[in-house]
């Protein structure tokens, strides 16, 4: 097998981002995936940090935080790169690192993210007089009345109206937003006709579940051009059409760039010579297969995706390269006494520690492999869920690793 310039192990947000950046720099890239990644479960919005101005807060983080090693220049470049990739797939994003954009959640609260699909940008609600919240018969997990009640607390000066419409093409069974999104792609006019019956004006907004297809912004544009009111999508419970749209935007770019994909390819171990990785071994029903490359990016995720394992307490492992894994020792430091304590959870900081080039290092700070870089949820040293940095760390570390020579 020909030696690739780069092998990316993992097909989640970090893996797709790393492969896209490397391909855009002319590298011959191979992606090895085992599973579909986490993007179909994600909201589509990218959180960098739970702060009014993420870029300013990032500057104040401790030296051992992944962002401090990645650097603000790479973080900013990663954000711009993602926006560009999405735009190429007709999936416009809004936002910036110096501010946060509001998004309506599936329960009617507002969350704030740095990068948001334009279809979910709730900033426009502040300028509207009336807000329609529209549910659909048979659509599970979208409760228009509850959303209306909760959202009205943020906008007490607005007039609200909730309604449930019957899109007969959805069928008679209960369906998810993903089901509805796939059906709407072939029935955009029927949806537009139903929404026209609201008689909403340019002073109004229509809040809907995210059912406008799973490819770019095409379906929403087809409906929006027929209405005077702005359409604003909410988040939803997984599986998530906005997350799927972003995944497909990356896949479109990777396919156009000639990136090779090997799905259902479980990488079981690395092949190494001293401080250099020369290849990885993929499990096969017939025989194992070695994939050689000059450089490798590990993007297999944390505990939830199997990128880190722990069969014995206080003994977490990285199963492919057997890299040392940082973790807070002792049961008292592993978790807070109260689950929802308003403090980071110790176990969530578990992960691989790296140098500024994202090479894995041992406890003494010595580089283990010079041509292996660790990205995304594999990285340790912070509670990404608590600080709402998972998406930002994923794309920023992937960008930095891909451009690192």
For 351-392, the pLDDT digits (tens) are 999 999 999 999 999 999 999 999 999 999 999 999 999 999
Q: Rounded to whole angstroms, how far apart are CA atoms 400 and 70?
A: 6
For the record, the structure tokens of 56 come out as 């300013």
Q: Greatest CA separation found in the chain?
A: 70
Question: pLDDT band at 313, cuts 50/70/90?
Answer: confident
Question: pLDDT band at 337, cuts 50/70/90?
Answer: confident
Q: Is pLDDT of 332 > 80?
A: no
What percent of the chain is predicted at pLDDT more than 90?
A: 87
What percent of the chain is predicted at pLDDT more than 70?
A: 100
- Can you give the pLDDT at residue 314? 75
The full set of domains in the chain, from first to last, is 4-92+245-403 (3.50.50.60), 106-234 (3.40.50.1860)
Range 154-182 average pLDDT = 92
Range 53-61 average pLDDT = 96
Higher pLDDT, 268 or 171: 268
Q: Average pLDDT over the chain, rounded to whole?
A: 95
Range 185-199 average pLDDT = 96
- Can you give the pLDDT at residue 13? 98
Q: Is pLDDT of 405 > 80?
A: no
Range 95-107 average pLDDT = 97
Count of positions (residues) in the chain: 405
Per DSSP, the residues of 151-186 read HHHH-TTSEEEEEEE--GGG-SS-B-HHHHHHHHTT
- Can you give the pLDDT at residue 330? 72
3-state SS, residue 362:
coil
Strand pairing class (204-208; 93-95): unpaired
Q: Is pLDDT of 110 > 90?
A: yes
Q: Is pLDDT of 285 > 80?
A: no
Range 337-351 average pLDDT = 83
Question: pLDDT band at 39, cuts 50/70/90?
Answer: very high
Q: Is pLDDT of 170 > 90?
A: no
For the record, the structure tokens of 263 come out as 């799905």
The terminus-to-terminus CA distance of the chain in angstroms comes to: 23
For the record, the structure tokens of 145 come out as 């009345």
- Can you give the pLDDT at residue 115? 98
Q: Rounded to whole angstroms, how far apart are CA atoms 21 and 43?
A: 22
Range 244-261 average pLDDT = 97
- Can you give the pLDDT at residue 287? 85
Q: Is pLDDT of 315 > 90?
A: no
Question: pLDDT band at 226, cuts 50/70/90?
Answer: very high
User: What's the CA angle centered on 8, arms 39 and 303, to 5 degrees?
Assistant: 55
Question: 401: closest CA among 75, 55, 59, 56?
Answer: 75
Q: Is the dihedral of CA 118, 54, 153, 105 positive or negative?
A: positive
Q: Is pLDDT of 224 > 90?
A: yes
Q: Is pLDDT of 163 > 90?
A: yes
Q: Give the burial class of 86: count Cβ atoms within 10 A of its Cβ; 0-12 exposed, 13-18 middle, 19 or more buried.
A: buried
Range 290-305 average pLDDT = 96
Q: Is pLDDT of 172 > 80?
A: no
């Amino acid at each position: 097998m020909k030696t690739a310039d780069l092998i990316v192990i993992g097909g989640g947000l970090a893996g797709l981002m790393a492969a896209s950046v490397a391909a855009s720099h002319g590298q011959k890239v191979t992606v090895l995936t085992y599973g579909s990644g986490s993007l179909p479960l994600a909201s589509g919005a990218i959180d960098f940090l739970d702060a009014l101005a993420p870029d300013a807060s990032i500057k104040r983080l401790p030296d051992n935080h992944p962002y401090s090693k990645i650097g603000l220049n790479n973080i900013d470049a990663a954000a711009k790169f993602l926006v560009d990739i999405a735009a190429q797939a007709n999936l416009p994003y809004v936002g910036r690192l110096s501010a946060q954009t509001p998004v309506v959640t599936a329960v009617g609260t507002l969350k704030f993210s740095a990068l948001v699909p334009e279809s979910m940008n709730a900033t426009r609600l502040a300028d509207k007089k009336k807000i329609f919240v529209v549910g659909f018969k048979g659509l599970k997990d979208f409760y228009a009345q509850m959303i209306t009640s909760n959202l009205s607390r943020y906008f007490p000066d607005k007039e609200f109206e909730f309604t449930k419409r019957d899109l007969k093409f959805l069928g008679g069974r209960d369906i998810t937003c993903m089901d509805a999104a796939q059906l709407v792609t072939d029935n955009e006019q029927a949806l537009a006709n139903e929404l026209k019956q609201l008689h909403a004006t340019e002073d109004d907004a229509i809040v809907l579940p995210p059912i406008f297809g799973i490819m770019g912004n095409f379906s929403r544009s087809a409906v929006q051009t027929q209405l005077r009111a702005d359409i604003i999508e909410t988040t939803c419970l997984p599986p998530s059409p906005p997350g799927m749209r972003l995944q497909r935007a990356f896949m479109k770019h990777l396919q156009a760039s000639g990136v090779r994909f090997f799905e259902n390819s479980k990488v079981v171990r690395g092949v190494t010579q001293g401080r250099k990785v020369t290849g990885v071994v993929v499990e096969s029903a017939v025989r194992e297969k070695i994939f050689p490359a000059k450089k490798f990016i590990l993007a297999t995720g944390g505990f939830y995706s199997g990128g880190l394992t722990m069969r014995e307490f206080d003994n977490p492992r990285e199963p492919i390269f057997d890299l040392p894994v940082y973790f807070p020792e002792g049961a008292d430091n592993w978790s807070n006494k109260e689950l929802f304590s308003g403090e980071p959870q110790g176990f969530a900081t578990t992960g691989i520690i790296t140098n500024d080039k994202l090479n894995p290092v041992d406890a003494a700070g010595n580089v283990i492999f010079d041509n292996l870089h660790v990205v995304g949820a594999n990285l340790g040293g912070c509670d990404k869920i608590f600080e709402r940095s998972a998406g930002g760390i994923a794309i920023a570390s992937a960008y930095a690793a891909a451009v690192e020579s």
